[in-house]
Structure 1
Amino acid sequence: MTRFAGGPSQSPGFLMWHATMSWQRTMTATLAPLGLTHVQFVLLACAWWLASTDEPPTQVRLAAQAGTDVKMTSDVVARLEGKGLVRRAAHPTDARAKVVTVTDEGAALARRAIEEVEAADAEFFAAVDTPALVTVLATLAASG
């Protein structure tokens, strides 16, 4: 006998899957007019934020902040570089590391995209108690 005898509609994991897919469709629709995929947005926004709080991050630090795979981060940052949104340069003291600097165009796009994503988030999550949801999601994220 399964734990969720009522079927998928009673399974937290299944419901989270559907909620996540719906939210991802919202993010895709929000970011497409800006010429960004969701992962490009996350990495650009994280690079911009990290640089505003400290020095420009390395790709490894950027991957850690975003929660993304280092190799995938490198590939996506290369695409962002091709769009003129970031620049990569050798780290001054670590020959293996690359430093990611957000260009002026990238910073402007990051600010605009963050505003668009925050507005889409506000609309998407309007039907729920957002502070309570954030607490639940933070707990789940910390456990994994």
Structure 2
Amino acid sequence: MSKEIEFHFKSPKNSPGYLLGQVTMLWQRKIKKCLDPLDLTQTQFVLLAALGWLSKTSNSVTQVDIANQSNTDRMMVSKVLRTLEEKGFLTRQEHKTDTRAKTIQLTDSGAEVLQKALIEVENTDLEFFSILEDEVSNFNKYMSVLIEEHNK
């Protein structure tokens, strides 16, 4: 190598982006393992969970609402919701007042699989992040700050 590569960080362990990537990959492996028996991907679970949250306060949840709640690309949401509809976990119907929108609702089997997935994912989260002990709330606070700042 003719020129030495210069890094800003002295070590990968000093790079927050590198560490975040490593933690994310490890966490995603754990989540995949707990969702596989339910025939759900992490993305499918996230969108079902967003629909579940939004359905608590609204009877006319749209794909756009789900995309905004999950901070996910609208086109991808449409494709994944189509797959979840094929699995029988939700229905997509024309919106009553906005012809461009679709109203999304959980089916009984969708609500059942979501409840099972929530238990599995929440238990996996509790176990995975338990090593942080009393610092979990600070960890969550800082992640929320990053999300809020970079969503502006």
Aligned mates of 1:53, 1:108 — CA distance in 2:
19
What amino acid sits opposite 2:41 in the alignment? T
Cα distance in structure 1, aligned partners of 2:40 and 2:20:
24
Q: Are the aligned partners of 1:50 and 1:56 in contact in 2 as well (CA < 8 Å)?
A: no
> Given residue 130 of structure 1, which amino acid in structure 2 is its aligned partner?
V
Is 2:136 aligned against 1:130?
A: yes
For the aligned residue pairs, the C-alpha RMSD in angstroms reads 1.0
**Aligned residue pair count:** 143
User: 1:10 offset after TM fit, Å?
Assistant: 1.2
Q: CA deviation at 1:3?
A: 3.2
What is the aligned partner in structure 2 of residue 69 from structure 1?
73
Instruction: Indicate yes or no: 2:113 matched with 1:113.
Output: no
TM-score, normalised via structure 1 length: 0.96
Amino acid at match of 1:139: V
After superposition, the C-alpha distances for 1:2-51 in whole angstroms (9 at most, x for unaligned) are 4312x111111101110011011111111111110000001011112211
How far apart are the structure 2 equivalents of 1:63 and 1:53?
16
Q: Unmatched 5+ residue regions in structure 2?
A: 1-5
SS in 1 for 2:130: coil
Which of 4, 10, 24 is the equivalent residue of 2:9? 4
Report the Cα offset of residue 143 of structure 1: 1.4
User: Which stretches of structure 1, 4 residues or longer, exceed 6 Å deviation after superposition?
Assistant: none
2:101 is equivalent to residue 97 of structure 1: yes
In structure 2, what residue type is equivalent to 1:43? L
Normalising by structure 2, what TM-score? 0.91
Q: Give the distance between the partners of 2:58 and 2:93, measured in 1 at CA.
A: 17
User: What are the ranges of 5 or more consecutive residues in structure 1 without an aligned counterpart?
Assistant: none
